[in-house]
Amino acid sequence: MGIPLSAPDITEVEIAAVTAVLRTRSLSLGPKLKEFEAALAGYCGVAEAVAVSSGTAALHLAVRALGVGPGDEVIVPSFTFVAVANAVRFEGATPVFADMRMGSWNLDPASVEAAITPRTRALIVVHTFGEPAAMDELMALAGRHGLKVIEDACEAIGGSYRGRRLGSFGNVAVLAFYPNKQMTTGEGGAALTKDPVLAMRMRALRNQGRYAGDDWLQHAELGYNYRLSEMACALGLAQLSRLDGMLARRAQVAARYDALLAGIPGIERPALTADAGEISWFVYVVRLAGELRDGARERVLDRLRQEGIGCGRYFAPVHSQPAYAGLESARRRPLPVTEAVAQTTLALPFFNELTEAEAQAVAEALKRAVELEGRK
């Protein structure tokens, strides 16, 4: 049996919490939903949390609740998961791609500012791989241009920037709880906001456009079925109670990799610390560099997989995806840093319970694969 790319950390605490809900008659829109939302809001330092069926659903509700629609442009990174741009298109708006900053996984504020036009309505800031984005610069930029900010902390719960939790900066922020994330509800996500009016609207939108007090068959506006079950909320509460410990273990795994990979020619390791905040470790991504030949990343990936080691290309740029081939905004501006970096990234197996022996095996396999490339 090989080493997977990711794995959830589920204990008897989570199993007991979910089982307890199954012994009740309340499986949706019940007390666990309210409890989970209150716990999330408190943890992230915001007034309101709206739990939904996925991080993508949270992004969609954020875009819709902020009134972004046809004719509007939203600036997004290309070095991210495709849902960030998809959510903009769901509402008929246009995603406009900005480049990443060299030496960071995140948006370059200068590239963002250069992408602003009279049609720009909002900015989606992603804390990629759990690394805090340059929030001071980006929030100031948004303020100067009157832009709404959606803060994508789907990969960054528990991280911080200048002493504030990630997810507490934007008009709306979003979280995701897929099984590869730092904490999981199976499938699930949440939208965070300080604005109770926005929260009220997003709660209505997730439940077929029903507002509090509406009859079950009364729909004030077009909505969706983005509800999160009571079982998922119970799982989330149990995970949230253990989150700080899980994040600490992930940081230890990252530090172990850093030591094991030091000195391997052609491997650039991610920084263990952030300049102005605390990383929430989502994945561990190295870059292949130095004298390695073009196409080396694909060959290294193949060799690792042949040895049973899960690995991935994090991320393929969104603007180069087939689904975006016909979109004029995907070709509007060059993204040289994104395109250069994306060809070299390699995500290694990374999860809370990765053992020392497994990390050692990954490091040795990566060293062998890179050395083979170096002999060519």
**Dihedral of the alpha carbons of 173, 314, 321, 56, in degrees to the nearest 10:** -30
Residue 228 confidence (pLDDT): 98
The residues near 95 (Cβ < 8 Å, ≥ 6 apart) are 73, 74, 75, 76, 84, 85, 88, 89, 318, 327, 329, 330
At residue 235, does pLDDT exceed 80?
yes
Q: Where do we find the tokens 């989970």?
A: 36
Q: Using one digit for the tens of pLDDT, what is the confidence trace for 128-165?
A: 999 999 999 999 999 999 999 999 999 999 999 999 99
Dump the DSSP string for 156-185.
Answer: -TT-EETTEETTSSSSEEEEE--TTSSS--
At residue 71, does pLDDT exceed 70?
yes
* Average confidence (pLDDT) over 163-184: 98
* Average confidence (pLDDT) over 299-310: 96
Q: How confident is the model at residue 293 (pLDDT cuts 50, 70, 90)?
A: low
Residue 150 has a CB neighbour count (10 Å cut-off) of 28
Residue 40 confidence (pLDDT): 98
In the chain, % of residues over pLDDT 90:
92
CA 58/CA 134 separation, integer angstroms: 22
* Average confidence (pLDDT) over 273-301: 89
Burial track 100-115 (b if 16+ CB lie within 10 A, e otherwise): bbeebbbbbbebbeeb
Q: How confident is the model at residue 331 (pLDDT cuts 50, 70, 90)?
A: confident
Q: Using one digit for the tens of pLDDT, what is the confidence trace for 20-40?
A: 999 999 999 999 999 999 999
> Higher model confidence: residue 301 or residue 293?
301
What single-letter DSSP state applies at residue 121?
E
pTM: 0.96
Residue 241 confidence (pLDDT): 98
Q: Of 158, 141, 132, 68, whose CA–CA distance to 98 is shortest? A: 141
Q: How confident is the model at residue 263 (pLDDT cuts 50, 70, 90)?
A: confident
CA 235/CA 36 separation, integer angstroms: 9
CA 263/CA 371 separation, integer angstroms: 12
Q: Of 141, 148, 145, whose CA–CA distance to 173 is shortest? A: 148
Residue 333 confidence (pLDDT): 80
What is the rounded average pLDDT for all residues in the chain? Answer: 95
What is the arrangement of strands in the sheet containing 345-348, beginning at the earlier edge strand?
267-268, 284-288, 345-348
Tell me the domains of the chain and their CATH numbers: 12-239 (3.40.640.10), 243-374 (3.90.1150.10)
> Higher model confidence: residue 375 or residue 20?
20
Encoded tokens for 343: 């060809």
The residues near 259 (Cβ < 8 Å, ≥ 6 apart) are none
In the chain, % of residues over pLDDT 70:
98
Dump the DSSP string for 76-115.
Answer: EESSS-THHHHHHHHTT-EEEEEPBPTTSSSB-HHHHHHH
Residue 376 confidence (pLDDT): 60
Least confident of 138-147, 199-208, 227-236, 325-334: 325-334
* Average confidence (pLDDT) over 171-197: 98
Which element (helix H / strand E) includes 214? none
Q: Is 163 exposed, middle or buried (0-12, 13-18, 19+ CB in 10 A)?
A: exposed
At residue 284, does pLDDT exceed 90?
yes
> Higher model confidence: residue 364 or residue 373?
364
* Average confidence (pLDDT) over 218-226: 96
